[in-house]
């Protein structure tokens, strides 16, 4: 018989329950109040009393209300039908929930994540008598443009024998398709769907590999100077309105991955609505069809209960690991992890825990690290590789990168793409500050050349800052040319026109070619005697490059502008700057 309890205290969405039997951490329970069953999760056990965080508004919950414990951990359904869905933090399909509950979502309504009436075409892969273990493929089902692999459920430990397997045909996700027997002879039925606890990482692979292959985002600044590796991690902190959500949407559309999962874990409702409206209309460059066909959105706005923010983060990463287990490359974008951290702070305060910096819990760093550590590229038992790349935005108040959430995140991620209010106000897209940001990963372009270009931009910034004090007349012509070179690099390479269908996404081949031409300018000793002459020449070259960026790759117009650029550089180039010879050789 399952355990029950009684409510003995209510503090916001944290409820204290008196129990008589045994309960487990992260066990799911339901509070029965006003004819509703409110879902909650055990977060602390103290003798006969437990604290649970409720995933609903707790209005009306009173002393003496009955609580039912399920003996199940907080889990998600894994099976075909996830792609293209919009879920809340508890994996309720929001479109179906809205149909049932109306405009205002009611409490206590929980729906199946995957449709029970839809049939899927199952094709067996394993043979009768085969020896299999958790994560190995038993059969396949077509889902959108992918082959969805039906695997041995991850909670079946040890080795099993395939006793029987269904023939090729159409089945519902709850139909039995495989019967496995364990070493003791016990039978285990396998359907197209199974559950997995969200706070337990999926580790049904043979080896975890080091992320080295660059993840192509088709954004020049990221791919060339601040690369992200497949299976790596990165964060995008920035002040409000600096373009975090826009940057994530661009990466969702253009990054060379198979599956995109967006976790709106406490973002403002307006931004979530924009995502829900735009994604179905965005065309996938790979297929020419809707981007939503390979996207899953976990939608948990800031107006929803704070406990659901944490659930949405773990739900998203569990779904990402599931598709990684199929040998696919998954990009998980969490927006914004600051809201999740604020939810942890609120719950920690109600638990009366000793606070850390700025009242965040002392375990803030370990919680954030545990989330990002679930990224990675793995070698599967089948010999295939799969990856989960995690990128989280951070919303520090006032753009202060010294605050605890940003600092805790920077300790565990492999790349830092810091957004700048200054660049955002100047309409420089993306608004990533190229000097404040960094990456531990290696991109596809030679690091010696990118280092040279980075140093040129740094010196340009220094000269620009000096010019604000002493004026242009207090600067030498050589320094002024260095300043113009940095401005040129920023304008024609770092910035991209997201409204231009060509410049919005740039292939690695074109990036490499363009960067080579820009290096010709940066390393050149130029025959420019006056500042006015230098300004005039750089303005002309910059505009030609901007026109060049908007032309189709290798078109007649592209070739004509390419030739014009070569002529412009040759007219003023009189040699290579001292110290640049080896850079250009590489």
CB 390 within 8 A of CB 343: no
Query: What torsion, rounded to 10 degrees, do the Cα atoms 416, 433, 223, 415 define?
Result: -10
Name beta bridge partners: 44.
Answer: 51
List b or e across 467-504, with b for residues whose CB sees 16 or more CB atoms inside 10 angstroms: beeeeeeebeeebbbbbbbbbbbbebbbbbebeeebbb
The rounded percent of the chain whose pLDDT value lies above 90 is 77
Q: Is the full-model pTM beyond 0.85? A: yes
Domain ranges, ordered by start, for the chain? 4-73, 82-113+206-434, 119-192, 447-585
The verdict on whether residue 238 carries a ligand-binding annotation is yes
Give Cα 72 distance to the centre of its chain: 28
Nearest to 92 by CA among 107, 116, 72, 111: 111
Residue 415, both tokens: 């790349």
Q: Could you tell me the pLDDT band of residue 265, with boundaries at 50, 70 and 90? A: confident
Q: What pLDDT sits at residue 107?
A: 86
Q: Could you tell me the pLDDT band of residue 244, with boundaries at 50, 70 and 90? A: confident
Per residue in 65-104, pLDDT (tens digit) is 999 999 999 999 999 999 999 998 899 998 888 888 776 7
Indicate the burial class of 130 (C-beta count within 10 angstroms; 0-12, 13-18, 19 or more). Answer: middle
Q: State mean pLDDT over 495-520.
A: 93
Per residue in 386-413, pLDDT (tens digit) is 999 999 999 998 888 999 999 999 999 9
Q: State mean pLDDT over 96-124.
A: 88
CATH of domain 447-585: 1.10.1140.10
Q: Could you tell me the pLDDT band of residue 523, with boundaries at 50, 70 and 90? A: very high
Which are the contacts of 298, defined by CB distance < 8 A and separation ≥ 6?
A: 87, 88, 89, 261, 262, 263, 264, 265, 312, 315, 316, 319
DSSP letter (8 states) at residue 204: -
- Residue 196: pLDDT over 70: yes
The verdict on whether residue 239 carries a ligand-binding annotation is yes
The verdict on whether residue 396 carries a ligand-binding annotation is no
Q: What pLDDT sits at residue 545?
A: 97
- Residue 109: pLDDT over 70: yes
Rounded to 5°, the CA angle 314-318-322 comes to 170
Terminus-to-terminus CA distance in the chain, angstroms?
72
Structurally, at CATH architecture level, domain 119-192 sits in Beta Barrel (2.40)
Q: State mean pLDDT over 480-489.
A: 97
Per residue in 197-210, pLDDT (tens digit) is 999 999 999 999 99
CATH of domain 4-73: 2.40.10.170
Residue 270, both tokens: 């307006």
- Residue 306: pLDDT over 90: no
- Whole-Å CA distances, 503 to 219, 318, 538: 9, 34, 21
The verdict on whether residue 227 carries a ligand-binding annotation is no
The verdict on whether residue 242 carries a ligand-binding annotation is yes
- Whole-Å CA distances, 456 to 397, 481, 484, 540, 585: 32, 11, 10, 20, 18
Same fold, 82-113+206-434 and 447-585: no
The verdict on whether residue 401 carries a ligand-binding annotation is no
Q: What pLDDT sits at residue 248?
A: 85
The verdict on whether residue 243 carries a ligand-binding annotation is yes
Per residue in 216-226, pLDDT (tens digit) is 999 999 999 99
Q: How far apart are CA 255 and CA 274, in angstroms?
A: 20
Q: State mean pLDDT over 528-545.
A: 96
Per residue in 135-170, pLDDT (tens digit) is 999 999 999 889 999 999 999 999 999 999 999 999
Q: What pLDDT sits at residue 512?
A: 95
Quickly list H helices, 25-180. 94-101
- Residue 270: pLDDT over 70: no
Per residue in 349-391, pLDDT (tens digit) is 999 999 999 999 999 999 999 999 999 999 999 999 999 999 9
Placement of tokens 């110290």 in the chain: 579
Structurally, at CATH architecture level, domain 82-113+206-434 sits in 3-Layer(aba) Sandwich (3.40)
The verdict on whether residue 501 carries a ligand-binding annotation is no
CB 92 within 8 A of CB 110: yes
- Residue 579: pLDDT over 90: no
DSSP 342-374: HHHHHHHHHTTPPB-GGG-BTTHHHHHHHHHTT
- Residue 301: pLDDT over 70: no
């Amino acid at each position: 018989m399952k355990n029950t309890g009684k409510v003995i205290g209510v503090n916001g969405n944290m409820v204290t329950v008196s129990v008589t039997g045994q309960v487990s951490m992260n066990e799911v329970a339901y509070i029965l109040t006003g004819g509703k069953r409110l879902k909650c999760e055990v977060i602390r056990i103290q003798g006969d009393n437990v604290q649970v965080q409720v995933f609903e508004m707790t209005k009306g919950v009173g002393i003496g209300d009955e609580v039912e414990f399920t003996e199940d951990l907080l889990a998600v359904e894994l099976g075909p039908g996830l792609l293209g869905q919009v879920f809340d933090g508890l994996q309720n399909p929001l479109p179906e929930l809205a149909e049932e509950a109306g405009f205002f979502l009611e409490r206590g309504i929980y729906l199946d994540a995957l449709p029970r009436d839809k049939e899927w075409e199952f094709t067996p892969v394993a043979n009768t008598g085969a020896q299999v273990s958790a994560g190995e493929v038993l059969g396949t089902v077509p889902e959108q443009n992918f082959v969805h692999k039906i695997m041995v459920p991850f909670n079946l430990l040890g080795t099993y024998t395939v006793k029987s397997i269904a023939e090729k045909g159409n089945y519902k996700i709850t139909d039995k398709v495989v019967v496995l027997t364990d070493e003791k002879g016990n039978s285990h039925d396998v359907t197209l769907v199974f559950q997995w606890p969200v706070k337990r990482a999926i580790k049904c692979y043979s080896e975890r590999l080091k992320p080295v292959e660059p993840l192509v985002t088709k954004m020049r600044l990221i791919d060339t100077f601040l690369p992200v590796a497949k299976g790596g991690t990165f964060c995008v902190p920035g002040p409000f309105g600096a373009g975090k959500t826009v940057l994530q949407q661009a990466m969702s559309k253009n990054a060379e991955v198979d599956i995109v999962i967006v976790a709106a874990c406490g973002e403002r409702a307006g931004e979530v609505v924009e995502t829900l409206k735009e994604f179905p209309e965005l065309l996938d460059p790979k297929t020419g069809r809707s981007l939503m066909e390979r996207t899953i959105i976990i939608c948990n706005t800031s107006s929803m209960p704070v406990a659901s923010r944490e659930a949405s983060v773990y739900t998203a990463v569990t779904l990402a690991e599931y598709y990684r287990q199929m040998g696919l490359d998954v990009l998980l974008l969490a927006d914004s992890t600051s809201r999740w951290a604020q939810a942890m702070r609120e719950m920690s305060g109600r638990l009366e825990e000793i606070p850390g910096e700025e009242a965040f819990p002392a375990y803030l760093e370990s919680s954030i690290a545990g989330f990002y550590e679930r990224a990675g590229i793995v070698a599967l038992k089948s010999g295939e590789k799969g990856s989960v790349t995690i990128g989280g935005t951070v919303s520090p108040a006032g753009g202060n990168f010294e605050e605890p959430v940003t600092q805790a995140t920077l300790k565990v991620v492999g790349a830092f793409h810091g957004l700048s209010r200054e660049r955002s106000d100047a309409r420089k897209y993306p608004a990533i500050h190229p000097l404040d940001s960094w990456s531990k990963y290696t991109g596809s372009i030679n690091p010696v050349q990118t280092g040279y270009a980075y140093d040129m931009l740094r010196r340009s910034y220094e000269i620009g800052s000096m010019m604000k004090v002493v004026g242009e007349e207090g600067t030498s012509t050589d320094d002024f040319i260095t300043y113009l070179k940095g401005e040129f690099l920023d304008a024609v390479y770092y910035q991209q026109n997201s409204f231009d269908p060509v410049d919005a996404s740039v292939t690695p081949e074109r990036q490499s070619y363009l960067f080579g031409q820009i290096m010709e300018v940066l390393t050149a000793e130029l025959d420019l005697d006056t500042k006015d002459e230098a300004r005039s020449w750089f303005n002309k070259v910059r505009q030609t490059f901007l026109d060049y960026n908007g032309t189709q790759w290798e078109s007649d117009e592209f070739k004509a502008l390419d030739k014009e650029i070569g002529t412009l550089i040759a007219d003023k180039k009189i040699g290579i700057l001292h110290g640049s010879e080896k850079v250009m050789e590489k």
